[in-house]
Amino acid sequence: MHNSHTRPRPGRLLVVLGWLLALCATALPALANDAAPAAADPALEARMTRITAELRCLVCQNQTIADSNADLAVDLRRQVREMLSKGDDDAKIIQYMTDRYGDFVLYRPPVKATTWLLWFGPALMLLFGFGALAVVMRRRARTAAEQFDADDPALFADPHQS
Amino acid sequence: MKSLRYILPLLAFLILAGFLARGLNLDPREVPSPLIGKPAPSFALTRLDDPAATFKRDDMLGKVWMLNVWASWCVACREEHPLLVEFSKRGLVPIYGLNYKDKRPDGQGWLARFGNPYNASLFDDDGRVGIDFGVYGVPETFIIDKQGVIRLKHIGPLTPDVIRERIEPMLSKLNA
Amino acid sequence: MIPEIGHFALWLALGVALMLSVMPMLGATRGRADWMALARPAATLQFVLVAFAFGCLVAAFVGNDFSVLYVASNSNTSLPTQYRVAAVWGGHEGSMLLWLLMLTGWAFAVARFSKHLPGPVLARILSVMGVLSVGFLLFLLLTSNPFDRLANPPLDGRDLNPLLQDPGMVFHPPMLYMGYVGLSVAFSFAVAALIGGNLDTTWARWTRPWTTVAWIFLTIGIAMGSGWAYYELGWGGWWFWDPVENASFMPWLVATALIHSLAVTEKRGSFKSWTVLLAILAFSLSLLGTFLVRSGVLSSVHAFATDPRRGLFILGFLVFVIGASLALYAWRAPKVGLGARFEWVSRETFLLANNVLLMAACGAVLLGTLYPLLLDALGMGKLSVGPPYFDTVFVPLMTPLIFLIGIGPLARWKQAELPQLARRLRWAFGAALVVAVLTNWWRGHLGIVSTLGLMMAFWIVAALATDLADRLRPNGIVKTSLWHRAGLIPRAMIGMMVAHLGIAVFIFGVTMVKSGEIERDVKMAVGDTTEVLGYTFTFRGVQALMGPNYRASQGTLDVTRDGKAVITLHPEKRIFPVAGATMTEAAIDTGFTRDLYVSLGEPIDNGAAWIVRVYVKPFISWIWGGCLMMAFGGFLAATDRRYRAKVRQTQGADVKVAA
């Protein structure tokens, strides 16, 4: 019987080849790629995402140019990416956009004389609110006791005053 | 005096209502151009009908001219086109087209079918010149004066009213 | 035939509403019991007629009656049945009818559940609600009739916007409108009280449960809208500060302030005129929201088809209702009493500080939403105000408020001591700080903002625990069990704790997602993998499939963790031929501690590979879980025993009667 193993026969060769191929096939998943990032440069992409999230799409006006599928948004994203690759800083890109489209394209309104009320308004409202509260409290403190209602005894008997 | 502060909410509301009423006559979607009064962006584009010929912004210095942004895929452009063809026959101002993000055969075919009011159309296939002009919707129309400064921008299709009330007066002023 | 009957029912309802607006109010002024008695049946009849009309519209949709213009514009034979029903409120006219249905529904509820209200009070309240119904009925019948016919009916309709063909559409608008419109009850109570001169603690006690229930619906409605945007729109976000989102958030902020202000007025009789003003403002903001969405004054993704005539009508209605009620306020409020006295440091002042902060926040949102209009109207140019503004302005206003959530419940009415409060709460404060820092250190994210966010969430929990521990501590005199002491805590108090806990859960979710979410955009061919935070995503390819009214490309991704299969996700890109739109359906695996979110980008290399966006979002479901907890807390508070009529009748002696 051992004579049949001294010279490889075509059938055996095929079987061996078959096994080799099978081995290769099992190794294929290991060769399957760790998916490449859609973008070439992650740091640039991070800046890209941040900037485009603050720019308004002028066609689909309720989306950022990051999210919009309008042609103009695609073109503007390309433009931003080119400028970032050239090394332009954020301010230059914003300037580029506002030169062509005005402040409307910015979701973060610039702080200028016409927007002082916008940016400082909330703080002013808060100050006004607390100021009004203080004024009212002071006025109440000066009012005579008879002007007020009596306390409800039931409420003050409860230790937790629920 | 004590009663005065109780009037404040009513007053504040009436002021707000005034603004809202005014807002009914405004279009929140319209984006005015920051380029009015500024020099037209410089550009050098090939002509739609002749890829070998180049047309530059500075070629038009010394003349008042109209730039109309159009495309064969643009439905609203079809609306204004007959009007534009009629207007071009009056010879009030040379009209140049900016063929925006189109294909040469499509653009030329469209002009052949619907008429050509333009002295020439410029081929802006990737839309960069359009972006420089602040184009965001087609059609748009610009009037540029002799010094190359943009003096008027109209967004949307031209109408007889717009031509009569905005364009003709501007042309008279610029040609004077 | 059915649309005409529905239309006729609306005209009848207008007649009933007119009668309801006038007779009971006059009856209350003149002491005519027979006129006042008309209020309840009129409110009921009004509701029945509007409900019937609504039913006719639903029937027209379900039956594919394309001779009705509104049905033809918003539906299609290939639209699944549940979306045909949802399409009823998919456009302007139908959603106005839904508004009206809710309005008359709430009036009916007030008529039904108000045995304890004196005749004249109820009569005035229902009359005010009748005036509101008249306004909306006129608006519908004169400018926005959903039953208009088409002379040449098309064979098939235009189809519902694909974005709206989703379960969210079935629930979100009805919930939201229940909340919006529910605030009309508090409004009507306030206006009726100003007219009748009966502003007292009893008035506050009556108003409170109605306000809380409306608030619950508004909370759920807004949460559903946000959740739906997250699941449906494929952009991974959940709040955009869009004008219509703000239009729903502003009434919510005011309603929250109102609930807290009512607590002061009910318990101590103080700040009645402020509470009344809040009640008027809350519904006014609901009406303003309706105007903003339908008038074309602001650009929004939610905006309905606009028509200046409609905008003018709504504005006119707005000016009449809000103007009249604020004028009434200016006239009557100065005469209202001061209530009981309280000191600078007391639960009252903490609650009022809560109100100042909430109103400042509401003011900020209003300012940001209307600023573009303001500048344009003054001819000062056009600008946009978006998330960067609102995020910058809103969070600093909320931080002190969260701080107050911990202190307020522990402070005593009338007079509290700051040193004592500080002593009781210093452990809570310290614990919150330590746990927040430790959590971030463990996560590897030592950012100031996220640490502050976590600290706010933990602060609420710790302060709550302090309060609870206090209430459960034996009080020394009588021996009681823990269960017994727990049972002594009023349900309203439990409701408050649950709602505040919900806020903590919400803040925790927002902080964790904003500081810890990871996004990866990758090119994937079949077999490619990508790994995010321990999860391995393997792309298995894309296949075509057909939906009921769309064609889709469906991707398959297997997700594993430590070698074990987690889930298989199927993101889709759907094309709707009738509407001509493409939609991205993200595939989301919702988990308690994280969401796995995958969406398809574009095919590349001729379909050999696809751009795939993979996100892992930690604790994002806690955002909506927190909102649900808030709503549940509200439910507990609204069903406290003092509002339940049965109990009131058996405990006749305990009921305080208005002096």
Q: Where does the pLDDT of residue C655 fall: very low under 50, low under 70, confident under 90, or very high at 90 and above?
A: very low
- CA separation for the pair C183, C215 (Å, rounded): 8
Q: Residue C335: exposed, middle, or buried by beta-carbon count in 10 A (0-12, 13-18, 19+)? A: exposed
Asked if A100 and B29 come within 8 Å (Cβ–Cβ), the reply is no
pLDDT, one tens digit per residue, over C29-63 is 999 999 999 999 999 999 999 999 999 999 999 99
* Region label for C444, one of left (φ > 0), alpha (ψ between -120 and 50) or beta (otherwise): left
Indicate whether A122 and A75 sit together in one domain: no
Establish if A131 belongs to a structural domain.
Answer: yes
Q: How many CB atoms lie within 10 A of CB C15?
A: 14
pLDDT score at C104: 97
Q: Taking the alpha carbons of C90, C94, C96, C101 in that order, is the dihedral positive or negative?
A: negative
Under a CB-based contact definition with an 8 Å cutoff, are residues C102 and C178 in contact? Answer: yes
Under a CB-based contact definition with an 8 Å cutoff, are residues B134 and B34 in contact? Answer: yes
Domain count across chain A = 2
Q: CB-based contact (8 Å) between A114 and chain C?
A: yes
Angle of the C2-30 helix axis to the C119-143 helix axis, nearest 10: 150
How many contacts, defined by CB atoms under 8 Å, are there between A and B? Answer: 39
If one looks up domain B34-175 in CATH, what number appears? Answer: 3.40.30.10
pLDDT, one tens digit per residue, over C350-392 is 999 999 999 999 999 999 999 999 999 999 989 999 999 999 9
Confidence check: pLDDT of A22 > 80: no
The candidate with the shortest Cα–Cα distance to C191, out of C254, C116, C279, is C279
pLDDT, one tens digit per residue, over C168-198 is 888 999 999 999 999 999 999 999 999 998 8
How far is the alpha carbon of A107 from chain C, nearest alpha carbon, in Å? 5
Q: CB-based contact (8 Å) between C383 and chain A?
A: yes
Q: How many CB atoms lie within 10 A of CB C256?
A: 25
Which of C318, C330, C382 comes nearest B6 by C-beta?
C330
Query: Averaged over C519-538, what is the pLDDT?
Result: 90
Indicate whether A60 and A86 sit together in one domain: yes
Average pLDDT, chain C: 90
Query: For residue B129, what is the nearest residue in chain A, using CA coordinates?
Result: A100
Domain ranges of chain B: 34-175
HEC profile for chain A?
Answer: CHHHHCCCCHHHHHHHHHHHHHHHHHHHHHHCCECEECCCCHHHHHHHHHHHCCEECCCCCCCECCCCCCHHHHHHHHHHHHHHHHCCCHHHHHHHHHHHHCHHHECCCCCCHHHHHHHHHHHHHHHHHHHHHHHHHHHHHHCCHHHCECCCHHHHHCCCCC
pLDDT score at A11: 62
Confidence check: pLDDT of C651 > 60: no
Q: CA angle at residue C410 from C404 to C411, to 5 degrees? A: 85
Please report residues of A whose CB lies closer than 8 A to that of B35.
99-100
Q: CB-based contact (8 Å) between A59 and chain B?
A: yes
Neighbours of chain C (3+ CB pairs under 8 A): A, B
Domain that holds residue A129: 111-142
Confidence check: pLDDT of B72 > 90: yes
User: Which residues contact residue C584 at a Cβ distance below 8 angstroms, ignoring those fewer than 6 apart?
Assistant: C233, C234, C571, C572, C573, C574, C599, C600
How far is the alpha carbon of A92 from chain B, nearest alpha carbon, in Å? 15
B151 phi/psi in degrees, rounded to 5: -110, -20
Query: Averaged over A57-77, what is the pLDDT?
Result: 88
Confidence check: pLDDT of C643 > 90: no
pLDDT, one tens digit per residue, over B28-58 is 888 889 999 999 999 999 999 888 999 998 9
Confidence check: pLDDT of C470 > 70: yes
Query: Averaged over B4-32, what is the pLDDT?
Result: 91
Domain ranges of chain C: 1-165, 172-341+350-409, 417-514, 518-619
Asked if B10 and C330 come within 8 Å (Cβ–Cβ), the reply is yes
- CA separation for the pair A71, A74 (Å, rounded): 5
Q: Where does the pLDDT of residue A149 fall: very low under 50, low under 70, confident under 90, or very high at 90 and above?
A: confident
Q: CB-based contact (8 Å) between A119 and chain B?
A: no
Q: Where are the alpha helices (DSSP H) in C113-151?
A: 119-143
Structure tokens that stand for C98 in this block:
């839904």
Test the A interface: residue of B74, B129, B131 with most A CBs within 10 Å: B131
Q: CB-based contact (8 Å) between B27 and chain A?
A: no
Structure tokens that stand for C316 in this block:
């006119």
Q: What is the CATH number of the domain that holds A100?
A: 1.10.8.640
Give the 3-state secondary structure of residue C144.
Answer: coil
- Look at the block and give the residue holding tokens 């047309």: B55
Asked if A38 and C492 come within 8 Å (Cβ–Cβ), the reply is no
How far is the alpha carbon of B23 from chain C, nearest alpha carbon, in Å? 5
pLDDT score at C296: 83
Structure tokens that stand for A113 in this block:
């004389």
Asked if B137 and A99 come within 8 Å (Cβ–Cβ), the reply is no
Asked if C323 and B32 come within 8 Å (Cβ–Cβ), the reply is no
How far is the alpha carbon of B142 from chain C, nearest alpha carbon, in Å? 20
Under a CB-based contact definition with an 8 Å cutoff, are residues C558 and C614 in contact? Answer: no
Indicate whether A48 and A94 sit together in one domain: yes
pLDDT score at C302: 73
pLDDT score at B65: 94
The candidate with the shortest Cα–Cα distance to C196, out of C598, C658, C619, C512, is C658
Asked if B6 and C284 come within 8 Å (Cβ–Cβ), the reply is no
Query: Averaged over C462-469, what is the pLDDT?
Result: 94
* Range with the poorest average pLDDT among B139-148, C105-114, C125-134, C293-302: C293-302
Neighbours of chain A (3+ CB pairs under 8 A): B, C
Establish if A23 belongs to a structural domain.
Answer: no
* Range with the poorest average pLDDT among C150-164, C276-290, C323-337: C150-164
List residues of B whose CB lies inside 8 A of any C CB: 2-3, 6-7, 9-10, 13-14, 16-17, 19-32
ipTM over 0.85: yes
CATH 3.30.1490 fits C518-619, yes or no: no
Asked if B34 and A100 come within 8 Å (Cβ–Cβ), the reply is yes
- CA separation for the pair C391, C389 (Å, rounded): 6
Angle of the A42-52 helix axis to the A90-101 helix axis, nearest 10: 40
Average pLDDT, chain A: 82
Under a CB-based contact definition with an 8 Å cutoff, are residues C519 and C615 in contact? Answer: yes
Establish if A137 belongs to a structural domain.
Answer: yes
How far is the alpha carbon of B36 from chain C, nearest alpha carbon, in Å? 13
Give the 3-state secondary structure of residue B98.
Answer: strand
Asked if B29 and C299 come within 8 Å (Cβ–Cβ), the reply is yes
HEC profile for C377-413?
Answer: HCCCCCCCCCHHHHHHHHHHHHHHHHHHHHHHHHCCC
Could you tell me what percentage of chain B is helix, strand and coil, using 3-state DSSP and rounding each to the nearest 5?
A: 40, 20, 40
Which of C329, C373, C374 comes nearest B6 by C-beta?
C329
